[in-house]
Amino acid sequence: MTDMILVTGASGNLGSATLAALWARGAAATGGSRTPKDGMRRLDFDDRSAIDLAGVSTLVLVSTGYAEDDQVIGRQAAVLDAAVRDGVRHVVYTSLIGAGDHLGFALAHRATERFVRACGLPWTILRNGLYAELFGGLLMWTDDGMESAFGDGALAAVTRADLAEAAAVVAADPARHGGRTYDLTGTPITAAHVADRLGVPHRTIGLGEYRRRLLDETPGMLPFQPPMLVSIATGIRHGFLDGTGPDLADILGRPASDPLDTAVAASAATRPQAVG
């Protein structure tokens, strides 16, 4: 039987990038999504009876996220149950960096890690650092520069492309990485680094003001998102997310990409035309 890799969340940013990285390596891989493109499988984790992983040898389970913990954990438990039922031979789960245990969305990751380790299948857990794209995108533009609640704190940010490539490397040769938990972090960067590169000043705001803006001035914000984003801000601000390590470079076989370039590009993309 041909080894087939299936990447969940293939319509999302990390899932689609992981699938592309697998194809670039010549791997037999497909994607699964609630809204699949041609050739992908339809996977709706809220419809347990319809989850079909038949013929899949390696499952790359990209965290579903973007919901309350009970919903996320339920979805990921459902797909792991299907993996056991359908004969998947290895599970690769994209989790959250170990230093992120205090973050508002950590519990769903840690609960899923428990399920992964207990499901009886060979597994690998990729504890992803926070995206450089996210860091840059969370900086807020003002008339004369930018603001954030990050203070002078640094984030060991990672580019989404590096995380996708790491997932592809592991999924393409899963036996080599069986039973391993990797912390995938990059070079620490600060809001001031981004602002300096863009030639503008950076001003720190308080966490209370940041929370108020999220609640009062951010259309479309879901109820669980403001505390999640504030937890990221306070974690960076107070030095809990600046630790780095060798795992990412070891998996990639090269140094990690410079996250500052990516964070700057993400921040510049949100810059109002009137600024500058």
State the CATH number of the domain containing residue 205.
Answer: 3.40.50.720
Cα separation, 142 vs 111, whole angstroms: 39
- Its pTM stands at 0.95
pLDDT in tens, the chain (276 residues): 468 999 999 999 999 999 999 999 999 999 999 988 888 999 999 998 899 999 999 999 999 878 899 999 999 999 999 999 999 999 999 999 999 999 999 999 999 999 999 999 999 999 999 999 999 999 999 999 999 999 999 999 999 999 999 999 999 999 999 999 999 999 999 999 999 999 999 999 999 999 999 999 999 999 999 999 999 999 999 999 999 999 999 999 999 999 999 999 999 999 997 444
- Return the sign of the alpha-carbon dihedral for residues 112, 116, 118, 119: positive
- Whether 171 maps to a domain, the answer reads yes
- Whether 276 maps to a domain, the answer reads no
CA distances from 62 to 44, 65, 83, 197, 274 (A): 13, 9, 14, 32, 38
Backbone Cα Rg of the chain: 19
- Whether 216 maps to a domain, the answer reads yes
* 179 half-sphere exposure, CB direction, 13 A CA radius: 1
- Contact between residue 232 and residue 224 where contact means Cβ atoms under 8 Å apart: no
- Contact between residue 182 and residue 39 where contact means Cβ atoms under 8 Å apart: no
Looking at the structure of the chain, the number of domains it has is 1
- Residue 223 CB neighbour total at 10 angstroms: 8
Range of the domain at 180: 5-270
- Whether 275 maps to a domain, the answer reads no
- Whether 181 maps to a domain, the answer reads yes
- Contact between residue 101 and residue 231 where contact means Cβ atoms under 8 Å apart: no
Give the closest residue to 170 by CA, choosing from 87, 60, 261.
60
Cα separation, 210 vs 199, whole angstroms: 23
- Whether 116 maps to a domain, the answer reads yes
- Whether 44 maps to a domain, the answer reads yes
- Whether 40 maps to a domain, the answer reads yes
The H-or-E segment that residue 148 falls in is strand 145-148
